[in-house]
Structure 1
Amino acid sequence: MNQALKKILIKTKKQVFSEIIGNNSTKIKGEGYDFCELKEYEYGEDVKNIDWVISAKMQKPYVKVFYAQKELNVNIVSFLNGSTYFGTDIFKQEIIIQIASALGFICVKQGNPFSSFIANENLEICTKKSKQIFNVNFMSEQKYYYNVIGKNINYEKITKELFKSIHHKSMIFLIGDFFDIEKLDLKLLCQKHEVIALIVRDKFEEAPIELGNVNFIDPNNNRSFEGVLNKNTVETYINKIKENDHKLYNHFQNCAIRFTKIYTHEDPIKKLIGVLR
């Protein structure tokens, strides 16, 4: 195994197993002990969950709904396209690997089975359902050596394939930089599963500086770009990023998706644990 990858796994494993993370924390409704909400009784529901005090006050039966406390099915989806081959200090691809491996170790710690995928133009199964540490290492190795150059993301195709391939109610983690999200639609996926989005970005992508004459290569399609990175082009670019993110955040909120943004200079594990609590 590559020494750099080995360092990532050792560091991530140490952070996960030293942090206090509650077992099977989920927002999926079902049988459990953590109270979620009260709702009107519907025919066929378990009468044992009727709250008789509230029902007497409201003059109609109400039942208690709880968060599920059971084994979770976790699916880790890493969007690995050309734009993740970028970073002023650490490449976004490496941050995505750190996050994915941390999620894998959390599943092992809590006894939850996890599966992992690599997504871009197609959806590829990286590791099948497992609770073993070996699969965390294998998943990380697959993603570390994955060639992202020349790969684009087909959000429409990926979401359809995820909906078809994941049959049981699951917690799905989507990890990527989420640029060009015009065709991103997670409404159907969220009706069946709990979805958490982890946005990985580099500060330079959101606030580039004026560099004058530049020659860039787009890692999504290997095309070269020559131009001038001056005040006007920087402002135009920043406005497009803000517009993209405004649509993205609205979509997540409309779908009740928890999300956070993780920059390449930050500790991804701390940000991840923050969104899971």
Structure 2
Amino acid sequence: MNQAAKKIVLKTKKQVYGDMLGNNASLFQGEGFEFAELREYVYGDDVRKIDWKTTAKLGKPYVKIYKEERELNVVVVSMLGGSMYFGTVKQKSDIMAELVATLGFSAVKNSDLFTHILFADTLYERSKPSKKHFSIHKAVEDVTEFEPLGKESDFDKLTEMLNTRLKKKSLLFILSDFIGDIDLKLLSVKHDVVAVIIRDRFEEDPSELGYLRLIDMESKKSFESDINTGALNAYKKAIHQNDEKLYKQFKKQGVRFVKVYTHEDPALKLMKSMRRV
């Protein structure tokens, strides 16, 4: 494993299994699943699952276990187009790698199946469903070693691929900056979809830079532009409209969504946000 991946794995594993996130509710809460068994409480379990009647009778805490909760199919998609190669604090792609690790360790900790898919203009990597830490290590390494420059995020191809290959209903996390026309309606009909929007503050609120040469990270084409007040206002309006349309569509389709910025701690932001959505 490369050094960048190793650092991310060590950090996120400590957060998920340690005091920082260990006493919080799981990212993957299910309601109405078939009751399977009672087992003795272990450190890190969700206290809301404690069966107080059994606990009082036996003199030590017991928690309820549900069949579906033990076998959730957690699928994490890293949409790693060229626009993810950007960041003023951290690269958006680095934040993506941390989110992959956080979701992976959370799934394995819950005894759920974890699958990682790396996509951009086509499918690049797809792991087999696993409950092993090795699968998380491999997923993080794949993200950190991937070269996104010159690759476009093609959501139409992604939707087609997922509809064809994901046979089992899944808890589907899609990680991207979500810029452009994106429709997750077909996926949300079959799966429980969560959109994790990764952004840099500068993308949404840039400052005047004057006349300079820029590069489109997806096409690799360079162009010159005067980044003045007029250009900035037009850009901010466009990205605001993009997000308004996106949020409206997500709410209509039942897609849950959270936004993580490059200056934030991804694991903490995700855990805090998922308890609200």
TM-score normalised per structure 2: 0.83
Partner of 1:99: 99
Report the alpha carbon displacement of residue 25 of structure 1 after superposing the two structures with TM: 3.2
Gaps (5+ residues) in structure 2?
37-65
Partner of 1:151: 151
Report the alpha carbon displacement of residue 266 of structure 1 after superposing the two structures with TM: 0.5
Counterpart secondary structure, 2:127: strand
* Aligned equivalent of 2:251, options 250, 253, 256: 253
1: CA distance between counterparts of 2:119 and 2:132? 22
Partner of 1:25: 28
Contact in 2 for aligned 1:115/1:129 (Cα 8 Å): yes
* 1:103 to 1:74, Cα distance in 2 relative to 1, 3 A: same
Q: Deviations over 1:73-97 (max 9, x none)?
A: 0100011000000001210000000
Q: Deviations over 1:159-203 (max 9, x none)?
A: 1111111111110000010011x2x22112111110011000001
Contact in 2 for aligned 1:126/1:142 (Cα 8 Å): no
Partner of 2:263: 265
2: CA distance between counterparts of 1:28 and 1:81? 35
1: CA distance between counterparts of 2:165 and 2:153? 18
TM-score normalised per structure 1: 0.83
* 1:113 to 1:21, Cα distance in 2 relative to 1, 3 A: farther
* Bigger Cα Rg: 1
Partner of 2:15: 15
Contact in 2 for aligned 1:24/1:72 (Cα 8 Å): no
Q: Which runs of 4+ in 1 moved over 4 A?
A: 27-30
Partner of 1:84: 84
Q: Deviations over 1:112-131 (max 9, x none)?
A: 11111011111233321111
Let me know the Cα RMSD of the aligned residues. Answer: 1.9
In structure 2, what residue type is equivalent to 1:123?
L
In the alignment, does 2:120 pair up with 1:120?
A: yes
In structure 2, what residue type is equivalent to 1:104?
G
Identity of matched residues, %: 40
Q: Report the count of equivalent residues.
A: 243
Counterpart secondary structure, 1:130: coil
2: CA distance between counterparts of 1:126 and 1:69? 23
* 1:218 to 1:23, Cα distance in 2 relative to 1, 3 A: closer
Counterpart secondary structure, 1:225: strand
